[in-house]
Amino acid sequence: MKEYSFTLIIFLIATTFSFSQVMPLTLEPDGGNKKASISEQIGIVKISIAYSRPGVKGREGKIWNTPVAHYGFTDQGHGTSYAAPWRAGANENTTMSFSHPVKIEGNDLPAGTYGFFIALGETESTLIFSKVSNSWGSFYYDSAQDALRIRVRNETLEKSVEWLKYEFADETPNAAIISMSWEKRRIPFKVEADVQRLQIESFRSEFRTTRPFYDYMSAANYCIRNNIELEQALAWMDRAIYFRIMGVKNFQTLSTKAAVLMKMNRVEEAKKVMDEAIPFGTVNEVHQYGRTLLNQRQVQEAFKIFKLNYDKFPNVFTTNAGMGRAYSAMGDFKKALTYMKAALPLAPDEGNRTNVAAMIKKLEEGKDVNQ
């Protein structure tokens, strides 16, 4: 008898251990609901929504203000909540995650992951962002954990949406509309982010450690494009150029610093920096700088750059084409033709050859190739 009991105990221990090592069985979501997730970024702000999608399944006209999607707050007969809103989906919590602070309909919401609920109404509904995001449905909803409540207007859809869905719409650089649609109802709300402030804060945070020079260039170019934090951009470029060990003085870093100075209207300083940059430049980098000056209508300055590039590399396609552009911009089509015809046989590929041939034709017609 003792031997039998000992064997049984060993069997039970072994069985328990074996079951504990088995991964849970993979099953489809409860109730035939579909699981889904969507995400989108507003600037560097990543927004993610995870939810389960119930279907209408022939219940048109029997969704809203019924046990399927009840209005207001109600006792659902389960869990710890006696006044629960709708779960805004099916099964476990619908969740919304924001990587950075945002505004919901103009109201601040910190970064984080939130359980999302809706206290439904006939014409208006209350959106609820809860600090608790790991519950099953709204059976354990606790209003003391609300991070934000917002009232929004419901919209009526002409065509029924079979499977509940969340989507992003009406995107702008700093905002988007998130909407929940099901059956013939849509509940939208606006999410906004202070994109530029958050981006600059991110740069500053990431530059608290060692970064390569081109990261500072990326940050400075962001400031130039948006005409913000130019003093900070200038400091970043000085770090990119002169910072011990990681600083690199080359055409890219110097020309980016010059671009910051130009944006700040410190023209003479910018020119001095570009004078320092030119000797570091490749034939193509210097050529592109000349093209930039032409686009800015700085024809004489452009000519100097193209001429310097040509003197250094006289028998190259790029420099001959550059001189052709420079003389064309100054209205001397005869000299421009000379350089363009010299460039033609040096063209590195068919595309460039076709382009130069077209410019030669324009010059023969007395037209500026830069226009």
Pairing of strands 155-172, 34-42: unpaired
Give the residue-averaged pLDDT of 122-141: 95
- The whole-number average pLDDT for the span 345-357 is 93
Residue 179 has pLDDT above 90, yes or no: yes
Residues 6+ apart with CB under 8 A from 12: none
Residue among 350, 365, 286 at smallest CA distance from 318 = 286
Residue range 22-46, pLDDT digits in tens = 666 655 666 667 899 999 999 999 9
Domains assigned to the chain: 30-193 (no CATH), 196-364 (1.25.40.10)
Residue 10 pLDDT class (50, 70, 90 cuts): very low
Indicate the pLDDT class of residue 1, thresholds 50, 70 and 90.
Answer: very low
Return d(Cα 140, Cα 78) in angstroms, integer.
8
Beta strands at 107-109 and 102-104: parallel, antiparallel or unpaired: antiparallel
Asked whether 253 and 272 are in contact (CB, 8 A), the reply is no
Share of the chain above pLDDT 90, in %: 87
In tens, the pLDDT along 64-109 reads: 999 999 999 999 999 999 999 999 999 999 999 999 999 999 999 9
CB-CB contact of 258 with 277 (8 Å): yes
Task: Indicate if the alpha-carbon torsion angle 152, 158, 162, 163 is positive or negative.
Answer: negative
Maximum distance among all Cα pairs of the chain, rounded to whole angstroms: 115
| Contact assessment for residue 250 and residue 237, using Cβ atoms and an 8 Å cutoff | no
When pLDDT is cut at 50, 70 and 90, the band that residue 255 belongs to is very high
Q: Which residues pair with 347 in a beta bridge?
A: none
How far apart CA 137 and CA 16 sit, in angstroms, is 31
Q: Which residues face 178 on adjacent strands? A: 168, 189
Q: For 101-125, what is the mean pLDDT?
A: 98
The crossing angle, in degrees rounded to 10, of helices 230-242 and 213-226 is 160
Q: What does pLDDT average to over the chain?
A: 91
Is there a contact between 324 and 359 (Cβ–Cβ < 8 Å)?
A: yes
- Which segment of 6-20, 152-166, 224-238 scores lowest on mean pLDDT? 6-20
Does position 162 have pLDDT exceeding 50, yes or no? yes
Amino acid at 276: E
Residue 83 Cα distances to 25, 86, 103, 124, 136, angstroms: 34, 10, 27, 18, 15
Which pLDDT score, from 0 to 100, does residue 2 have?
47
**What radius of gyration, in Å, describes the C-alpha atoms of the chain?**
33
Place of tokens 């420099």: 319
Burial of 71 (0-12, 13-18, 19+ CB in 10 A): middle
Q: Residue 246 — very low, low, confident or very high, per pLDDT cuts 50/70/90? A: confident
Percent of the chain with pLDDT over 70: 91
pLDDT at 254 over 80: yes
Instruction: Copy the structure tokens of residue 116.
Output: 């999302």
Task: Say how far apart CA 166 and CA 37 lie, in whole Å.
Answer: 9
Q: What is the pLDDT of residues 199-214, one digit of tens each?
A: 999 999 999 999 999 9
Q: How big is the CA angle at 26 (ends 22 and 29), to the nearest 5 degrees?
A: 140
CB atoms within 10 A of CB 366: 8
Query: What residue ranges in the chain does DSSP mark as E strands?
Result: 34-42, 45-53, 94-98, 102-104, 107-109, 112-119, 124-130, 146-153, 155-172, 175-192
Report which residue type is found at 132: V
Q: Which residue type does 238 have?
A: D
Q: Kindly report, residue by residue over 297-339, the tens digit of the pLDDT.
A: 999 999 999 999 999 999 899 999 999 999 999 999 999 999 9
pTM of the predicted structure, to 2 decimals: 0.81
Question: Tell me, what's the pLDDT at 17?
Answer: 47
Does pLDDT of 4 surpass 70? no
Burial 129-145 (b: 16+ CB within 10 A, else e): bbebbebebbebbeeeb
Per residue in 25-60, is it b (16+ CB within 10 Å) or e — as a string? eeeeeeeebeebeeeeebbebebebbbbbbbbeeee
Give the tokens for residue 224.
């130039």
Cα separations in angstroms, 85 against 48, 61, 76, 99, 131: 22, 20, 9, 26, 15
